[in-house]
Chains A and B, each alone.
Chain A
Amino acid sequence: MNETVLLPDRLAELESITREYARFSRSAGGLGSVLGGLLCLGSYAAGGLLGPSGPVRAALIAIPFVWIVCKELMRRHYYQHLGAAAEPETRRERRGRVVTTAGTALISIVVAAGVLARGDRVMDAAGYLAVVAAMPVVAWLWLRAPLEFVTGIFLMCQAALAFNGTPYPLLSVAIVFPFAAVALIVAGVRDHLRFRGVTKRIARLTGGSGA
């Protein structure tokens, strides 16, 4: 091992590389975010323009789950390919995540109670209720960055509505979500470029063997 690696600035470089790499365990999504943004735009447009035909409904229901699987696979096998490094979560971030998840859970309970109070048969609304019930769990486990949360919740809501055959129309309250999707795409591209920078720094550090 080269002893010069251990001068204070080299130590700071090692710590900084680990910190940057660890961001991709939680707050940075890279191409997973780009995919999420594109799927959000696709889901919004398909729901509003194509109407609730069988294939469209099936696609709208599948989209959030396909996205989550794809982004987590990308995270594990691409962005954390050298081994997992978990990003520290500050108390403020943790509190924020608890509050947003609790809010989501509360809304899920109110919506589910509303459906049941309306007298709908549980079996008829089973798909809708299952997606609504899954929302807080999915948010807590896989929608850990703010833009991911906003986009993911839209995709889940769209999936739940697709079960009922009434996805969001183009001109509705959901019009804000395409803007969040674009922001997520921009953030994803920016993060991906940062990751390319991290892999270059790791390659320099390890003489090309690590990255």
Chain B
Amino acid sequence: MSPGEELGSVMQLDRLVHEPARLLILAMLAGAEEVEFRFIEKLSGLSKGNLSSHMSKLEAGGLIEVLKSFRGKRPLTTLRITPAGRTALDRYRRHLAEVVAGIPTQSIEES
């Protein structure tokens, strides 16, 4: 792959998915039917505000569903990956693997 093609390939990565925090959220959601906000908060190490912000972007992009309910008197937020989200994550994964495979080993060692 030429440097121009490599750059083009990197630029084609889905930016909504590519952001590290959002990628992390999607990867976790892909492993379950639905996941409580608290679980993602604890595993990701993201703050509540940061997580909410990324959650809203993913929801707006149609990649996840956010379900609000109550457990007793406490609000409960549950997240679920949509079929579109699953497809986007799979596509991103394949794309990223191709990009990483195209980087010469020497440049990885240097970095």
Tell whether, in the assembled complex, residue B32 and residue A5 are in contact, meaning their CB atoms are under 8 Å apart. Answer: no
Tell whether, in the assembled complex, residue B43 and residue A206 are in contact, meaning their CB atoms are under 8 Å apart. Answer: yes
Main secondary structure of the interface of B (DSSP, over half): helix
Q: Say whether, besides A82-B38, A83-B39, A8 and B96 are in contact (CB < 8 Å).
A: yes
**Which A3-24 residues have a C-beta within 8 angstroms of B?**
3, 5-8, 11-12, 14-22
A89, CB-defined interface residue at 8 Å = yes
Q: Tell me which of A11, A82, A88 contacts B33 (CB under 8 A).
A: A88
Interface flags for B41-55 (1: CB within 8 Å of A; 0: not) read 111111000000000
B66, CB-defined interface residue at 8 Å = no
Report chain A residues within 8 Å CB of B37.
83
Tell whether, in the assembled complex, residue B34 and residue A18 are in contact, meaning their CB atoms are under 8 Å apart. Answer: no
Q: Tell me which of B20, B41, B97 contacts A5 (CB under 8 A).
A: B20
Tell whether, in the assembled complex, residue A22 and residue B27 are in contact, meaning their CB atoms are under 8 Å apart. Answer: no
Tell whether, in the assembled complex, residue A205 and residue B96 are in contact, meaning their CB atoms are under 8 Å apart. Answer: no
Complex CA–CA separation, A14 to B97 (angstroms): 17
Tell me the smallest distance from the CB of A2 to a CB of chain B, in Å: 9
A126, CB-defined interface residue at 8 Å = no
Complex CA–CA separation, A18 to B44 (angstroms): 12
B88, CB-defined interface residue at 8 Å = no
Tell whether, in the assembled complex, residue A202 and residue B36 are in contact, meaning their CB atoms are under 8 Å apart. Answer: no
Instruction: With a 10 A CB-CB cut-off, give which of B23, B31, B34 has the most chain A CB atoms.
Output: B31
Chain B residues in contact with chain A, CB under 8 A?
20-21, 23-24, 27-46, 78, 93, 96-97, 100
Chain A residues in contact with chain B, CB under 8 A?
1, 3, 5-8, 11-12, 14-22, 25, 82-89, 202, 205-206, 209-210
Q: List 17 A-B contacts (CB under 8 A).
A: A1-B20, A6-B20, A14-B24, A14-B31, A15-B28, A18-B28, A18-B35, A21-B32, A22-B35, A82-B42, A82-B43, A84-B36, A84-B78, A85-B31, A205-B43, A206-B42, A206-B45
